[in-house]
Structure formats: C-alpha cells, structure tokens
Amino acid sequence: MIAQHLNMTDTRVTFGYVFTALLAVVTTWILHEFAHWVTSESLGYDTMMTLNTASPVKGQDVSEWHRFLISASGPLITIFQAIIVFIFLQKTWSKHLYLFLFIAFYMRSLAGVMNIISPNDEGRISEYLGIGLYTLPFIISAFLFYLVYQTSKRYRLDRKFQLTTLFATLIFTSALILIDQFMSVRIL
C-alpha cells in the first residue's frame, strides 16, 4: 500500500538487522524481567533477577495478590512495548523497529506454550482470575499476533523476511534461555 507506493519497505536482511535482532531479544527479555523485579522490590520483597527470571528470594511469604501483581508486570511492559512500536510503525517503516514488535509477540506466545510444562505469567494470572490456564495467554498472543499481522499486511512483508526474522528470534531466544539455565547469570 503506502510503503510499496513510496518504495520504502526495506526488508533486506543484513548483518545490522541480525545484530539488531540479538539486541531486541536481550532488551525485550531484560525489560520484561526488570518489570517483575521492580514490582517485587517495590512490594517489599528481596528479589533476584537473571536473564530469564525474576522472583522473590525463596523463603519469603508472598501473598496471592502480590504474586498476581508481580506476574502481571512483565507481560504488561512487553505488551506496552508492542503497542508503542506498532504506533510508530503506523507512521513509518523500520525493519529494526519491527523486530521489537515481532519479538514481543514471539516472547508472549512462547510463554503461553510453556504453560504446558509450568504455569507462566499469563497462565498464573489466568488461573488466579478463574478463567483457565490458557485463556489469557491465548488472548494476549492473539492480540500481539494481530499487531504483527496488521504491520506485515500494511508493508507487504514477504515470507522470506518473516521466516528470517523468526529464525533469528528463535536462535537468539534459545541462546538466552539456555545461557540462563546453565549459567544462571544473575543481573540483580
């Protein structure tokens, strides 16, 4: 539409794009976990944060309401990130900025799938609200998919670009999660 008419949709995958994908994954994950950390600390808990987790230190009695607030803060900041990026992308195309939208969708969808193993943020909130483990994760993933879909449609992003973006996100996300699992890199 607009982008094709003005020939502004640059979807070339360059080293810079791949490097931005790495930065976007790390930034999105750290912002998400930092939101959990800040919320937990502000509620008075001694909290630890790694690359892929943030939670009150074991042995503390955390109320259900506080668990709810701590669980909600991470996804809320990730959703906020996606909405802000979506708004910017409505005005102008940036493949580097698009990564921050795509990765927010990927992150929350992955978290939704991981509820199969253990309830994740939205899964815990969904259970707390009494609407089932998968209801809220599905709603949030669907909403974020809608933002990605609308942006992809607006700028006519092709499959090659989307698959390359997915592959880079998958590689960097997997690396971050594995590094966190095996090295437990404590940030705070």
SS3 labels along the chain: CHHHHHCCCCCCCCHHHHHHHHHHHHHHHHHHHHHHHHHHHHCCCCEEEECCCEEECCCCCCCHHHHHHHHHHHHHHHHHHHHHHHHHHHHCCCHHHHHHHHHHHHHHHHHHHHCCCCCCHHHHHHHHCCCCCCHHHHHHHHHHHHHHHHHHHHCCCCHHHHHHHHHHHHHHHHHHHHHHHHHCCECC
Q: What is the pLDDT of residue 8?
A: 57
Per-residue pLDDT of the chain (188 residues; tens, 9 = 90+): 444 444 457 889 899 999 999 999 999 999 999 999 999 999 999 999 999 999 999 889 999 999 999 999 999 999 999 999 999 999 999 999 999 999 999 999 999 999 999 999 999 999 999 999 999 999 999 999 999 999 999 999 999 999 999 999 999 999 999 999 998 788 88
CA-based angle 105:111:116, to the nearest 5?
140
Residue environment code for 45-68, b if the CB has 16+ CB neighbours within 10 A, otherwise e: bebbbbbbebbbeeeeeeeeebbe
Global pTM reads 0.91
Q: What is the pLDDT of residue 5?
A: 42
Token pair recorded at residue 117: 């193993």
CB 78 within 8 A of CB 62: no
CB 32 within 8 A of CB 19: no
Burial class (CB within 10 angstroms; exposed 0-12, middle 13-18, buried 19+) of 135: middle
